[in-house]
Amino acid sequence: MAGLGNGKETKMKRYREIVGDGGSAVLAQVQEQRARVESRLARVRHVVAVASGKGGVGKSVVVANLAASLTQQGRRVGVLDGDLNGPAIARMLGVGHQTLRVERDHAAPAIGPLGIKVVSMALLLPRDDTPVIWEAPTQDDAYVWRGTMEASAAREFLADVEWGELDYLFIDLPPGAERLPHLAGLLAGRVRGAVVTIPSQVSRMIVAKAVVLARTAGIDMFGEVENMAGYVCPRCGAVGDLFPGDDAEAAATSLGLPSLGTIPFDPRIALCADRGDPFIAVYPDTAAAEAFAAVASRLDALLEACG
């Protein structure tokens, strides 16, 4: 490298020549954050990240009702809404009016129906229509770094929230095949993954990408839930086909995953989500509620067997 006007030649170091983190303390910060996450999750038995690959398959509704089903079965459950730009879990679990309570050294989750603990970016926003705007010199820069900033914010939630004793902590991930690998570095060995799809070849194709990426990152993928698998007639209660295609077992096999079960579409599920009431608590004797309970039971049995 040329001299800087002092007659002397200055040599630029290459990155391989820099010992440690070059004095930036980044490595120490990362290690400290990982230690905080481990401490916060020390009393959480199972961390389950739920992905869909693409939006519109009802993943958050599935997460909310599985959380409620497991709570009804005697499990202690928390849900972290990992979708920072489109948080929905707080509304679906009826805590949208609450705010995230920040103490001296931790944040306390909101308490939803059945005692479900909930953390969401929505608890930090003044109104439902307030967007999350990432600070950057330009919005072009914000777009480029958005994925990194989202992952960093999710890590902060995991490191700062005091979850207490939980059997299950669900992380409801935003759409995108790459979302599961973002958790691998922070929760290595702690997180298991499940996917939600619908009886559509497009949905299954994108979910397959998410499964491959997650496995490449070393995440244990343990099951698939097929949502909207049939339509419940509101008059007679019969379940009819909603989408053509293979059955759920065949679809799960194609992904190399066990099927956790299928959930039929019931219009009242959306109505309950809008009101903040878990569908399975309001309509416990319906086909969809029984399906949610069956999926929750199978999920519980699989993860208990894994230890």
Q: Phi and psi of 51, rounded to 5°?
A: -120, 165
Q: How far apart are CA 68 and CA 76, in angstroms?
A: 10
* 261 vs 100: which has the higher pLDDT: 261
Per-residue pLDDT averaged across 38-51, rounded?
92
Average pLDDT, the chain: 82
H or E stretch covering 299: helix 287-306
| Within a domain: 9 | no
Per-residue pLDDT averaged across 132-151, rounded?
62
Q: Phi and psi of 279, rounded to 5°?
A: -55, -40
Asked if pLDDT for residue 126 goes beyond 50, the answer is yes
Q: What share of the chain in percent tops pLDDT 90? A: 41
Confidence of residue 2 (pLDDT cuts 50, 70, 90): very low
Short-list 212, 180, 219, CA closest to 59: 180
Asked if pLDDT for residue 22 goes beyond 70, the answer is no
What pLDDT, on a 0 to 100 scale, did the predictor assign at position 161? 93
185 is written with which tokens? 């570095």
* 253 vs 167: which has the higher pLDDT: 167
Q: How many domains does the chain have?
A: 1
Dump pLDDT digits (tens) for 286-301. 999 999 999 999 999 9
CATH number at residue 274: 3.40.50.300
Q: How far apart are CA 91 and CA 93, in angstroms?
A: 5
Torsion of Cα atoms, 287 then 169 then 155 then 95, to 10°: 60
* 236 vs 25: which has the higher pLDDT: 236
Q: How far apart are CA 76 and CA 290, in angstroms?
A: 20
Instruction: Give how far Cα 166 sits from Cα of 40, 75, 99, 169, 201, Å.
Output: 11, 8, 21, 7, 36
Confidence of residue 91 (pLDDT cuts 50, 70, 90): very high
Q: How far apart are CA 285 and CA 273, in angstroms?
A: 18
What pLDDT, on a 0 to 100 scale, did the predictor assign at position 143? 54
| Within a domain: 158 | yes
Q: How far apart are CA 25 and CA 21, in angstroms?
A: 6
User: SS3 of 150, please?
Assistant: helix
Per-residue pLDDT averaged across 74-98, rounded?
92
| Within a domain: 4 | no
| Within a domain: 182 | yes
| Within a domain: 5 | no
| Within a domain: 3 | no
Q: How far apart are CA 264 and CA 16, in angstroms?
A: 55
Close Cβ partners of 145 (under 8 Å, ≥ 6 residues apart): 134, 136
Per-residue pLDDT averaged across 213-224, rounded?
89
Close Cβ partners of 43 (under 8 Å, ≥ 6 residues apart): 163, 164, 165, 166
Dump pLDDT digits (tens) for 273-284. 999 999 999 999
Asked if pLDDT for residue 258 goes beyond 60, the answer is yes
Domain that holds residue 131: 26-306
* 244 vs 59: which has the higher pLDDT: 59
Q: What share of the chain in percent tops pLDDT 70? A: 81
| Within a domain: 16 | no
- Chain position carrying tokens 């929905």: 88
- Partners of 50 in beta bridges: 172, 194
What pLDDT, on a 0 to 100 scale, did the predictor assign at position 53? 75
| Within a domain: 150 | yes
Q: How far apart are CA 88 and CA 239, in angstroms?
A: 27
* 8 vs 190: which has the higher pLDDT: 190
What pLDDT, on a 0 to 100 scale, did the predictor assign at position 140? 63
Dump pLDDT digits (tens) for 152-209. 777 888 889 999 999 999 999 888 767 777 777 777 678 899 999 998 888 888 888 8
Short-list 82, 76, 79, CA closest to 45: 76
114 is written with which tokens? 């059945």
What pLDDT, on a 0 to 100 scale, did the predictor assign at position 278? 96
pTM of the predicted protein model: 0.84
